[in-house]
């Protein structure tokens, strides 16, 4: 077999030997039928052999002295049909005595049993010579014969699947539905120039409704479909649709389905440069993917069968076993079995091509089912290959997968990598979980890094658990190197980590603070080292103020506020940051330091002074006012004055020192004090910009006329026109709002009056009608005898309910007199 060295073959091949070899030395194969359990081989000398899957003969039948044309088996493999060139037809049970024997006066080319022939109601078979005959056994145990078709030449092939019989003659292929007794279709032969006896038709069923037809160089895939009942009329209930039709390069000798693909056996003729005629080349077995009008070649193998130079297209046959995807290539002197390559074959091919990575992956995927391959052995070959190539990192990486839990192999590889000077490569992949090597192995690698690569050494210390090696041994080694290079930051950091592993946290903390290392806070938190840092608060805050303050505030139960303030007494800028964050978290926690904070805010953080004064309820206002006045903090002084009740002085500062009319107006609005407005107007009356601001903003608080009347004649006021227009618009808006409110009020009053009127107009039920008394009924539903009511009061003719009046619920508004 030929194969592309770079493309993996899809099939593998072996000759069918044992008994077959001996048979074909003396005879020649003419046909073969495949069952899942055994094979049935027919020869040119009229014999039929039953073979096991390995080719050993289990039974032999002397049928005729001439060529066996066809052997047919039912699905159970219990009955066989045989026909020969001299017209003999035999159908019999392999395990019973029942049988049919008939001699015809013409060669019988094909015979086919009903797939369910074993069952009593399916005792049917067909034969093909110059006509297609159907044999059925009736209830009298006799065989009834029916002619299904004749008159179109010799029938060369029959394939029976379920209720459908397909056959080929000189004209084309036809399908017969035995359940409806209807012929469904006729697929004509394309190339009529080829002799049908030399290039016979190949038929195979892909499933119960899909027939594949190969003839010459043409392949068609035909699907049997149910016809719509409305379209039937006199037509058969089924029809055939050709879903794929295409031409091939060579002549077709056999077809077989393989999932959605097609296995095709080709007879090949090639042109010879030295001979006038074409010569017969090796047959080809191709896997193709059918498309609607073409096909795609998946694989192609040329087969070196015995005596291929002497064979014609009709001498080859392709049979298949559906159960195991086995394909049998039958030629007169050779039978070759093709089967799909399994995972072992795939791995063999990958190893042969030195594709170790893919081979290893494939072996791991199929580890549970793998038969021939040792995954570790493959992996070691791959590692050796990578080392030879100089890909040490790749080889070390593969050690993780390949060596697995084999500690002996791991240690061997470590020493091998040490020998070739590549310990660094394997260090990243050493076991470090539940499975571990001896501590000495890890120490060898750490010492190697310590000699040549401080950064690499530090990385291993960070990544490796401290239990892998003897900590004290490595600590001493680091201290020895620090004697030579005492300020090396990498070594110091690594030493701190080693002390941490060894639970000597104080030493680790010392180093981290000395180095101002970011992990110092993590170390403190993780190992609760707050008692060790009480005298190191300034160092911590100098390193990272924000982190230090957050940590101190989060752990007030461990380091008190008083202690922190005491430590930061000489560093007011740091003290301010701490107290400020404390205040933001809780306005009351550090209340005894609020007086101190006024000066700190004034010195280091003026933008937050005013928010602090607003939010603090423990701040001494006099002290704050004194500090703010000393530093000329106007805004803060204004706030404090207003808070202390001196609003007029606060307003004066806004107008005189800030000269901000908008702020002055806003302040007056907040205080809502008429005297403040008067002061504001008085201060602004000779300042045109202030007047403009007042005209634009006081309309909703003070009557603008009061301001306008006080403006001096002839004073030029910026944007006066716009300000007056705005006042008029505001006034107009107020009028509109009032009118709108009035309309709503009137509408609501009218609606309520109408509702009250309807209520009062309703009748009132009076039950006390037994005696001839006048009754007075109030709208509150209280009733009185007229004689029992006191005389009317100050309003003549108007009376009120005594009960409701006494309870102050309001009087009834009318009287209904009812007389019996």
Q: DSSP character for 297?
A: E
**CA-angle at 262, arms to 261 and 263, nearest 5°:** 130
- The confidence score (pLDDT) of residue 514 equals 78
Say if residues 304 and 282 touch (Cβ distance below 8 Å).
yes
Alpha-carbon dihedral 400, 405, 411, 413, rounded to 10 degrees: -40
Supply 535's token pair.
């005298």
Instruction: Based on the fold, state whether residues 469 and 388 are members of the same structural domain.
Output: no
Task: Give kind and range of the element (H or E) at residue 92.
Answer: strand 88-93
Say if residues 285 and 326 touch (Cβ distance below 8 Å).
no
Question: Does residue 378 lie in a domain region?
Answer: yes
CATH code for the domain in which residue 491 is found: 1.25.40
What's the CA gap between 801 and 788, in Å, rounded?
Answer: 12
Say if residues 8 and 349 touch (Cβ distance below 8 Å).
yes
Neighbours of 433 (CB within 10 A): 6
Q: What is the CA radius of gyration of the chain?
A: 55
Angle, nearest 10°, between helix axes 343-352 and 375-389?
A: 20
Instruction: Based on the fold, state whether residues 416 and 501 are members of the same structural domain.
Output: no
What's the CA gap between 634 and 612, in Å, rounded?
Answer: 16
Question: Does residue 700 lie in a domain region?
Answer: no
Contacts with 244 (C-beta within 8 Å, 6 or more apart), sequence order:
219, 220, 221, 290, 291, 292, 293, 295
- The confidence score (pLDDT) of residue 600 equals 86
User: Which residues are registered as beta bridge partners of 783?
Assistant: 777
**CA-angle at 348, arms to 345 and 351, nearest 5°:** 150
User: Which residues are registered as beta bridge partners of 182?
Assistant: 177
| Nearest of 87, 37, 33, 82 to residue 61 by alpha carbon | 82
Question: Does residue 252 lie in a domain region?
Answer: no
Instruction: Based on the fold, state whether residues 451 and 426 are members of the same structural domain.
Output: no
Instruction: Based on the fold, state whether residues 423 and 443 are members of the same structural domain.
Output: no
- The confidence score (pLDDT) of residue 706 equals 61
Instruction: Based on the fold, state whether residues 424 and 444 are members of the same structural domain.
Output: no
Provide φ and ψ at 200, rounded to 5°.
-70, 160
Provide φ and ψ at 342, rounded to 5°.
-95, -175
205, 765, 793 from 799: Cα distances, Å: 112, 20, 7
Residue ending a domain, among 435, 463, 494, is 435
What's the CA gap between 50 and 42, in Å, rounded?
Answer: 9
- The confidence score (pLDDT) of residue 513 equals 75
Supply 438's token pair.
């001896």
User: Which residues are registered as beta bridge partners of 188?
Assistant: 172
Could you report the average pLDDT of every consecutive run of 10 residues in the chain (820 residues)?
Answer: 65 93 95 94 96 94 94 94 95 86 91 93 93 90 91 93 94 93 90 88 94 95 90 83 94 94 92 60 94 92 92 94 88 94 81 75 59 64 82 83 82 86 84 84 89 88 87 88 86 83 77 75 72 75 81 82 84 86 83 83 86 84 84 80 77 74 74 70 69 64 62 68 71 80 91 87 71 76 78 66 68 38
User: SS3 letters for 433-453?
Assistant: CCCCCCHHHHHHHHHHHHHHC
Contacts with 500 (C-beta within 8 Å, 6 or more apart), sequence order:
508, 523, 527
- The confidence score (pLDDT) of residue 395 equals 84
Q: The tokens 């938190």 sit on which residue?
A: 525
Alpha-carbon dihedral 305, 307, 310, 315, rounded to 10 degrees: -50
Instruction: Based on the fold, state whether residues 442 and 431 are members of the same structural domain.
Output: no
Say if residues 186 and 213 touch (Cβ distance below 8 Å).
no
- The confidence score (pLDDT) of residue 817 equals 37
- The confidence score (pLDDT) of residue 215 equals 93
Instruction: Based on the fold, state whether residues 428 and 452 are members of the same structural domain.
Output: no
What's the CA gap between 254 and 264, in Å, rounded?
Answer: 6
Q: The tokens 């072992």 sit on which residue?
A: 344
- The confidence score (pLDDT) of residue 124 equals 94
Question: Does residue 421 lie in a domain region?
Answer: yes
Supply 802's token pair.
């005594």
What's the CA gap between 268 and 2, in Å, rounded?
Answer: 15
What's the CA gap between 576 and 569, in Å, rounded?
Answer: 10
Q: Is 49 exposed, middle or buried (0-12, 13-18, 19+ CB in 10 A)?
A: buried
Question: Does residue 322 lie in a domain region?
Answer: no
3-state secondary structure of 255: strand
Contacts with 327 (C-beta within 8 Å, 6 or more apart), sequence order:
11, 256, 263, 285, 318, 319, 320, 321, 337, 338, 339
Contacts with 348 (C-beta within 8 Å, 6 or more apart), sequence order:
372
Say if residues 664 and 651 touch (Cβ distance below 8 Å).
yes
Q: Which domain holds residue 355?
A: 342-435
Question: Does residue 805 lie in a domain region?
Answer: no
What's the CA gap between 326 and 16, in Å, rounded?
Answer: 12
What's the CA gap between 331 and 20, in Å, rounded?
Answer: 12
360, 489, 708, 728, 734 from 731: Cα distances, Å: 91, 77, 15, 5, 5
Neighbours of 600 (CB within 10 A): 21
Instruction: Based on the fold, state whether residues 429 and 447 are members of the same structural domain.
Output: no
Question: Does residue 31 lie in a domain region?
Answer: no
* CA atoms within a 13 Å half-sphere pointing along the CA-CB vector of 601: 25
Between strands 775-778 and 815-818, the pairing is antiparallel
| Nearest of 788, 784, 786, 778 to residue 809 by alpha carbon | 778
Contacts with 459 (C-beta within 8 Å, 6 or more apart), sequence order:
none
Instruction: Based on the fold, state whether residues 484 and 500 are members of the same structural domain.
Output: yes
Number of structural domains found in the chain = 2
3-state secondary structure of 341: coil
What percent helix, strand, coil does the chain show, rounded to 5? 40, 25, 35
Instruction: Based on the fold, state whether residues 431 and 445 are members of the same structural domain.
Output: no
* Maximal C-alpha separation, the chain: 152
Residue ending a domain, among 494, 517, 540, is 517
What's the CA gap between 52 and 139, in Å, rounded?
Answer: 36
Residue ending a domain, among 464, 487, 517, is 517
User: Which residues are registered as beta bridge partners of 776?
Assistant: 784, 817
Instruction: Based on the fold, state whether residues 461 and 495 are members of the same structural domain.
Output: yes
What's the CA gap between 26 and 5, in Å, rounded?
Answer: 37
User: Which residues are registered as beta bridge partners of 41?
Assistant: 32, 49
pLDDT in tens, 763-802: 777 776 556 678 888 877 788 887 777 766 556 667 777 7
Question: Does residue 2 lie in a domain region?
Answer: no
Instruction: Based on the fold, state whether residues 463 and 509 are members of the same structural domain.
Output: yes
Q: The tokens 């109030």 sit on which residue?
A: 778
Say if residues 526 and 508 touch (Cβ distance below 8 Å).
no
pLDDT in tens, 278-322: 678 899 999 999 999 999 999 999 999 999 999 999 999 999 987
């Amino acid at each position: 077999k030929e194969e592309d060295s770079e493309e993996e073959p899809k099939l593998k091949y072996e000759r069918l030997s044992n008994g077959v070899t001996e048979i074909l030395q003396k005879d020649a194969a003419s046909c073969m039928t495949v069952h899942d359990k055994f094979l049935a081989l027919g020869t040119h000398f009229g014999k039929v052999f039953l073979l096991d899957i390995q080719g050993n003969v289990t039974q032999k039948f002397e049928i005729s002295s001439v060529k066996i044309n066809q052997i047919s088996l039912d699905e159970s493999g219990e009955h066989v049909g045989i026909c020969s060139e001299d017209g003999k037809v035999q159908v019999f049970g392999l395990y019973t005595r029942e049988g049919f024997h008939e001699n015809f006066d013409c060669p019988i080319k094909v015979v086919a049993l009903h797939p369910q022939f074993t069952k009593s109601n399916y005792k049917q078979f067909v034969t093909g010579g110059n006509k297609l005959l159907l044999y059925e056994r009736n209830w009298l145990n006799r065989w009834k014969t029916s002619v299904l078709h004749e008159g179109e030449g010799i029938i060369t092939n029959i394939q029976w699947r379920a209720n459908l019989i397909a056959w080929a003659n000189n004209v084309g292929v036809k399908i017969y539905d035995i359940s409806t007794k209807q012929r469904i279709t006729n697929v004509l032969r394309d190339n009529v120039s080829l002799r049908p006896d030399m290039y016979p038709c190949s038929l195979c069923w892909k499933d119960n409704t899909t027939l594949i037809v190969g003839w010459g160089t043409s392949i068609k895939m035909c699907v049997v479909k149910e016809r719509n009942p409305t379209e039937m009329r006199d037509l058969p209930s089924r029809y055939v649709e050709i879903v794929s039709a295409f031409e091939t390069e060579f002549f077709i000798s056999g077809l077989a389905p393989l999932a959605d693909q097609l296995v095709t056996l080709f007879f090949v003729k090639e042109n010879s440069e030295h001979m006038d005629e074409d010569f017969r080349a090796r047959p080809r077995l191709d896997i193709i993917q059918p498309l609607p009008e073409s096909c795609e070649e998946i694989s192609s193998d040329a087969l070196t069968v015995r005596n291929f130079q002497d064979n014609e297209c009709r001498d080859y046959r392709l049979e298949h076993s559906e159960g195991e995807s086995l394909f049998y290539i039958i030629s007169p002197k050779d039978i070759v079995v093709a089967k799909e390559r399994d995972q072992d074959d795939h791995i063999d091919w990958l190893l042969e091509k030195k594709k170790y990575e893919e081979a290893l992956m494939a072996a791991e995927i199929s580890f549970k089912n793998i038969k021939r391959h040792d995954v570790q052995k493959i992996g070691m070959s791959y590692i050796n290959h990578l080392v030879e190539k100089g890909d040490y990192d790749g080889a070390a990486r593969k050690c993780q997968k390949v060596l697995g839990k084999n500690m002996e192999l791991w240690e061997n590889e470590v020493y091998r990598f040490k020998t070739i000077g590549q310990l660094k490569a394997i260090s990243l992949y050493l076991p470090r979980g539940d499975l571990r090597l001896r501590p000495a192995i890890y120490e060898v690698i750490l010492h190697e890094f310590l000699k040549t690569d401080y950064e690499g050494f530090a990385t291993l210390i960070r990544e490796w658990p401290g239990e892998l090696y003897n900590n004290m041994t490595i600590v001493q080694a680091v201290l020895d190197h620090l004697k030579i290079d005492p300020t090396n930051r990498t070594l110091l950091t690594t030493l701190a980590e080693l002390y941490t592993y060894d639970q000597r946290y104080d030493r680790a903390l010392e180093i981290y603070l000395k180095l101002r290392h970011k992990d110092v806070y993590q170390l403190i938190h993780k190992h609760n080292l707050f008692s060790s840092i009480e005298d190191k608060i300034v160092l911590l805050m100098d390193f990272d103020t924000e982190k230090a303050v957050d940590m101190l505030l989060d752990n007030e139960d461990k380091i008190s506020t008083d202690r922190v303030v005491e430590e930061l007494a000489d560093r007011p800028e740091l003290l301010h940051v701490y107290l400020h964050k404390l205040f933001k978290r809780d306005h009351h926690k550090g209340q005894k330091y609020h007086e101190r904070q006024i000066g700190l805010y004034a010195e280091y953080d003026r933008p937050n002074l005013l928010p602090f004064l607003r939010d603090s309820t423990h701040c001494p206002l006099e002290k704050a006012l004194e500090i703010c006045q000393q530093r000329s903090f106007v805004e803060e002084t204004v706030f404090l004055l207003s808070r202390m009740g001196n609003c007029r002085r606060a307003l004066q500062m806004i107008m005189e020192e800030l000269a901000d009319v908008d702020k002055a107006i806003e302040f007056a609005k907040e205080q809502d004090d008429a005297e403040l407005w008067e002061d504001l107007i008085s201060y602004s009356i000779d300042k045109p910009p202030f007047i403009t601001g007042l005209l634009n903003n006081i309309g909703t608080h003070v009557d603008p006329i009061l301001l306008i009347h006080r403006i001096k004649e002839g004073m030029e006021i910026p944007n006066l026109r716009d300000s007056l227009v705005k006042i008029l618009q505001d006034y107009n808006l107020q009028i509109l709002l009032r009118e709108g409110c009035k309309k709503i009020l009137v509408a609501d009053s009218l609606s309520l009056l109408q509702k009250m009127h309807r209520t009062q107009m309703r009748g009132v039920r009076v039950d006390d009608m037994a005696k001839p008394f006048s009754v007075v009924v109030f709208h509150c539903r209280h009733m009185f005898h007229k004689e029992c009511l006191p005389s009317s009061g100050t309003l003549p003719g108007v009376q009120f309910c005594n009960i409701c009046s006494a309870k102050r619920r309001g009087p009834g508004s009318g009287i209904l007199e009812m007389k019996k």
